[in-house]
């Protein structure tokens, strides 16, 4: 194991170790691998300020040491976290941080704890034969897409920084290595609960549940059935999260149970992408050959994952397994109701319709729109942004996107009769999302040493709702010669 230097990186940097203290059975002490020639590639200065970290200091030698895990504050306890997971439906009992480390917890400006976590920091006991490293491209992908998701108002883990390590990484070719410094309200996952349940240690399971309640679901503490309340709260936050994904056309690509957080934040931007032409069967991941994690399947998969969480929590829900199953099943029934309400609300806002329009009018109207978009291969993001022009009286931008105008014209007539608010639509329908061809161009350039395209793309994505002259290329779908898009997990 590599040995991290123990230092005091900056006068006010203190990393807590609450996770390691409260759940030592789930934390393996470990240190990051050496970074021979660290070089900062990307830094979120706004996030650094929220964490009380000085951006200029982070650019210096000690700051780079913190961001690579090679120089940590005195008293820090860096650990690799243990968890299990269902991966494409098959259970893997021992996954864990194979190439990642929890450096510790920082206290944000709001007083809440934030995990500072590394990805690509070297092999750990959970590496399962992998090299524990990461390449520049995939780490910058997470930086770009998580920045965009945060700007879109979607709960997400965030990229504080990406640092080139000076190491080479062997994939299909030799690539420059990098480490991502990721910030999250925690890294507790459904897979964390699954791992704990599999140990058979009910005291540990209870301590983990209490830890999750204290970190994320405070209202459950005062409930007469706190662990059932925890389950219901996770179901609710995940239902709302996936509804937000669907509303912007985001495809996660690898919705394994180890990639579903208890906090309700999006985590792991591996084979992810934004859908362009509307099609529920859209898949981007190279390994999702059966389409398990297709765009249209995401709500169903989320519900399935939450059922696995419920199974793991059964001993805490009731002493009688039969009764616990009955209670948990009833709780899981709330997912579809919560998801439907959240997605209906998202589509109400995207179409600009007032609260006074009843759901039994709104839902059929929205449902009738989807076949029109699918048959016309209409770009999801462009259509909804242009729809506000139709609300202002100019329907030609959206009419120009479809071939069969009769059903669209009929739909537009009925929609406009309900009084859509064009200005409200522009506040929720983005102009700019991470267009797949632009992401690939930027990552290829960065891998070759040119960070300019990534920096410009991130700057655009930080203000997704503000249309700006000269940025038309960032709003346009991929050109026809871009072809089918495939993403890879980067390991």
- Distance separating alpha carbons of residues 315 and 162, to the nearest angstrom: 41
Instruction: Say which DSSP state 422 is in.
Output: H
Q: In whole angstroms, how far apart are CA 360 and each of 88, 195, 344?
A: 35, 43, 10
Is residue 301 packed enough to be buried (19+ CB in 10 Å), middle (13-18) or exposed (0-12)? Answer: buried
Active-site residue (options: 44, 97, 258, 379) = 258
Q: What angle do CA 306, 114, 231 make, to 5 degrees?
A: 20
Strands (E), 268-314: 273-274
- Distance separating alpha carbons of residues 252 and 272, to the nearest angstrom: 5
- Distance separating alpha carbons of residues 323 and 339, to the nearest angstrom: 26
258 belongs to the catalytic site: yes
- Distance separating alpha carbons of residues 60 and 74, to the nearest angstrom: 18
Residues in the chain: 491
Q: Across the strands, what pairs with 87?
A: 90
The pair of structure tokens assigned to 290 is 């059966």
Q: What angle do CA 404, 408, 411 make, to 5 degrees?
A: 155
Contact, 53 vs 69, CB < 8 A?
Answer: no
Q: What angle do CA 15, 16, 19 make, to 5 degrees?
A: 130
Q: In whole angstroms, how far apart are CA 105 and each of 66, 94, 190, 260, 388?
A: 13, 24, 20, 20, 43
Residue with tokens 């709330």: 334
Is residue 356 packed enough to be buried (19+ CB in 10 Å), middle (13-18) or exposed (0-12)? Answer: exposed
Ramachandran assignment for 28, one of left (phi > 0), alpha (psi -120 to 50 degrees), beta (any other): beta
Annotated catalytic residues are 258
């Amino acid at each position: 194991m590599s040995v991290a230097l123990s230092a005091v990186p900056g006068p006010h940097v203190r990393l807590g170790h609450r996770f390691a203290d409260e759940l030592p059975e789930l934390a393996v002490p470990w240190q990051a691998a050496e970074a021979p020639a660290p070089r900062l590639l990307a830094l979120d200065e706004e996030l650094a300020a929220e964490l009380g970290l000085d951006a200029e200091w982070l650019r210096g030698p000690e700051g780079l040491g913190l961001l690579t895990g090679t120089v940590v504050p005195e008293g820090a306890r860096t650990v690799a976290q243990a968890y299990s997971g269902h991966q494409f439906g098959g259970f893997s009992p021992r996954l864990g941080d194979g190439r990642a480390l929890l450096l510790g917890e920082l206290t944000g400006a709001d007083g809440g704890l934030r995990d500072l976590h590394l990805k690509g920091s070297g092999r750990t006991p959970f590496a399962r034969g992998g090299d524990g490293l990461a390449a520049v491209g995939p780490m910058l992908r997470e930086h770009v897409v998580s920045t965009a998701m945060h700007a879109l108002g979607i709960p997400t883990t965030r990229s504080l920084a990406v640092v080139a390590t000076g190491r080479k990484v062997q994939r299909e070719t030799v690539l420059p290595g990098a480490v991502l410094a990721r910030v999250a309200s925690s890294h507790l996952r459904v897979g964390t609960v699954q791992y704990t349940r599999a140990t058979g240690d009910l005291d540990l399971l209870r301590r983990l549940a209490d830890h999750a309640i204290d970190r994320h679901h405070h209202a459950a503490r005062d409930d007469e059935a706190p662990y059932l309340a925890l389950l219901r709260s996770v179901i609710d936050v995940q239902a709302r999260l996936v509804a937000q994904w669907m509303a912007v056309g985001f495809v996660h690509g690898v919705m394994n149970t180890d990639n579903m957080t208890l906090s309700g934040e999006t985590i792991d931007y591996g084979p992810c992408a934004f859908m362009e032409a509307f099609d529920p069967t859209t898949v981007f991941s190279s390994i999702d050959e059966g389409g398990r994690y297709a765009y249209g399947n995401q709500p169903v998969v989320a519900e399935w994952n939450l059922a696995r969480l419920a199974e793991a929590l059964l001993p805490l829900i009731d002493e009688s397994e039969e009764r616990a199953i009955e209670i948990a099943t009833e709780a899981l029934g709330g997912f579809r109701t919560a998801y439907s309400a959240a997605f209906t609300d998202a589509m109400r806002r995207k179409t600009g319709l007032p609260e006074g329009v009843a759901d039994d009018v709104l839902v059929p109207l929205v449902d009738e729109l989807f076949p029109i978009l699918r048959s016309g291969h209409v770009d999801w993001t462009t259509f909804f942004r242009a729809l506000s022009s139709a609300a202002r009286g100019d329907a030609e931008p959206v009419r120009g996107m479809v071939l069969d105008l009769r059903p669209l014209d009929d739909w537009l007539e009925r929609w406009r009769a309900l009084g859509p608010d064009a200005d409200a639509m522009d506040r929720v329908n983005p102009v700019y999302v991470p267009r797949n061809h632009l992401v690939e161009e930027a990552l290829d350039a960065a891998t070759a040493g040119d960070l300019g395209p990534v920096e410009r793309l991130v700057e655009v994505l930080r203000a997704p709702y503000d249309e700006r002259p000269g940025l038309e290329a960032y709003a346009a779908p991929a050109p026809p010669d871009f072809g089918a898009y495939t993403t890879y997990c980067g390991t």
